[in-house]
Amino acid sequence: MTKLNYSCLFLLFFVGLSHSLGAASEKSVVDEIKNAEDRFDNRSVPLVEQVVDEAVLAKEEYQGGSFRVLARKAKIERYKCSSCHTDKPVTAQQGALLTHGDIILEHGSEDQGLSCIDCHHPQDRDYLEDKKGRKIDFDHSYQLCGQCHFRQKRDWLGGAHGKRVVNWAGERTVYNCTTCHNPHSPRFEKRFPATYSVELD
């Protein structure tokens, strides 16, 4: 009888062992990721490539703290706007060019698109203005765009929308809204792909 008991115990032991081994091999990388809660020092990574484009410290934070966004003002051809937009009336030779005749406005719904002063400050042309009447710097347009596109802004802050510049490590610098999107017609234009694929062997 004891012999039978022992063999039963033995069998149970093996069943248990194989079970735990099986469970161990089922462990997924997802579990490993979930358990990784220690902060990783991004600045400990030696970088070979630096961000060369001008960037400014963002006025908001992401999950890792402060970050930088690519500056916009340097890319606006005729900034500062107040050099033309003064109180005085302007007489210009190239009127069509200087009155932004080149801008195609395709932003907002089809029947009720946006107009200039929906985003631009009506008086101080060097700034943008949100719906609460706050002045917004051109470099921080995400504060303005985020009023309507709040889901995109949330994802952008977290890192699921837009992208980082040059490095995955080091100080976080991300593309601004206007780095990729033309604010006047933000949808990407249709075009031919950069290349094509051939059949796999």
Partner 1 sequence: MSSKKIKNEEIRTASLLEKKSTRRNFLKGLSIAAAAGSAALTTGCIPAADAASTEELKLRWQEFFKKNYRLMTQEEKDATVARLERLSKLNANLDVQMGSYPPLDGVLYGYAFNITRCEGFMECVTACVKENNLDRKTNTQYIRIFEMEPGQLDPSTGDGQYYHEVPVDNKFYMGTQCFHCEKAPCTKACPTKATWKEPDGIVVVDYDWCIGCRYCQAACPYYGRRFNWGKPEIPKEEVTRRQHYLGNRIRPMGKMEKCTFCIQRTRKGRLPACVEACPTGARVFGNLLDPESEIRYVLKHKKVFRMKEELGTDPKFWYFID
Closer to partner 1 by CB, 80 or 151: give it.
151
Closer to partner 1 by CB, 107 or 181: give it.
181
Q: Smallest gap, in angstroms, from Cβ of residue 32 to partner 1?
A: 8
- Dihedral sign computed on CA atoms, order 155, 156, 158, 160: positive
Q: Smallest gap, in angstroms, from Cβ of residue 29 to partner 1?
A: 4
Q: Smallest gap, in angstroms, from Cβ of residue 103 to partner 1?
A: 21
Q: Tell me the two tokens of residue 91.
A: 């007489």
Q: Tell me the two tokens of residue 144.
A: 């303005």
Binding site for partner 1 (CB under 8 A): 28-30, 32-33, 36-40, 42, 45-49, 62-65, 151, 155, 158-164, 166-170, 175, 180, 188, 190-201
Q: Tell me the two tokens of residue 165.
A: 């510049």
Q: Smallest gap, in angstroms, from Cβ of residue 72 to partner 1?
A: 17
Closer to partner 1 by CB, 44 or 91: give it.
44
DSSP 43: G
Q: Smallest gap, in angstroms, from Cβ of residue 49 to partner 1?
A: 5
Cβ-defined contacts of 42-50 (< 8 Å, 24+): 42/169, 42/170, 42/171, 42/172, 43/169, 43/170, 43/171, 45/169, 45/170, 47/167, 47/169, 47/170, 49/166, 49/167, 50/166
Closer to partner 1 by CB, 26 or 77: give it.
26
Closer to partner 1 by CB, 170 or 183: give it.
170
26 vs 5: CA distance, rounded Å: 32
